[in-house]
Amino acid sequence: MFGLSPLVIQLILAAIIATTSFGAGWRVNGWKHDSEYAARMEGGRIALEITAKEIAKIDITQKTIIQKVQTNVIEKPIYRECKHDPDTLRLLNDSLTNGKQAPSDSKLPGDSRSIIQRLFRSNNTETSGSE
């Protein structure tokens, strides 16, 4: 034909077929993605229309509700004599020692009373002495 060997002609034809197949596949893939995008947009449009219709059905009313507030005062007799549970006592001792680590028994060295007991004892003796 043009002085080309049959092998060269077959390679040229194979390259043309491969290039054409690749281009066709690329185009079909683009069509697929375009159709998926169009389907998503259509679904979004339909969902928007349904949502708008449902929102239009909502009847908005404004109502003022006045109700009494009930206050319950619960008296805990344990606090009358300043007796606290161990957790509260630990928190109070920590606040009095400015967050420094207190001994595990919450007592000062050389004293058998806790910090809170010492504080209330000293306040009670000052109060009773001034009366």
**Can you spell out the DSSP letters for 101-118?**
PPPTT-B-TT-SSBHHHH
Q: CA-CA distances (angstroms) from residue 58 to 15, 83, 107, 122?
A: 65, 57, 66, 68
- Round the average pLDDT of the chain to a whole number and report it: 76
**Better pLDDT: 75 or 42:** 42
- The pLDDT score that the predictor gives to residue 130 is 46
Q: Is the pLDDT of residue 13 over 90?
A: yes
Q: CA-CA distances (angstroms) from residue 30 to 25, 42, 78?
A: 9, 18, 79
**Better pLDDT: 24 or 119:** 24
**pLDDT, tens only, 83-124:** 667 787 777 777 777 766 655 555 545 555 566 666 666 555
- The pLDDT score that the predictor gives to residue 3 is 76
Q: pLDDT exceeding 90 applies to what percent of the chain?
A: 31
Tokens matching residue 29: 């893939």
Q: Is the pLDDT of residue 82 over 50?
A: yes
- The pLDDT score that the predictor gives to residue 91 is 79
d(CA 92, CA 105): 13
Q: Tell me the DSSP string of 21-58.
A: HHHHHHHHHHHHHHHHHHHHHHHHHHHHHHHHHHHHT-
- The pLDDT score that the predictor gives to residue 131 is 42
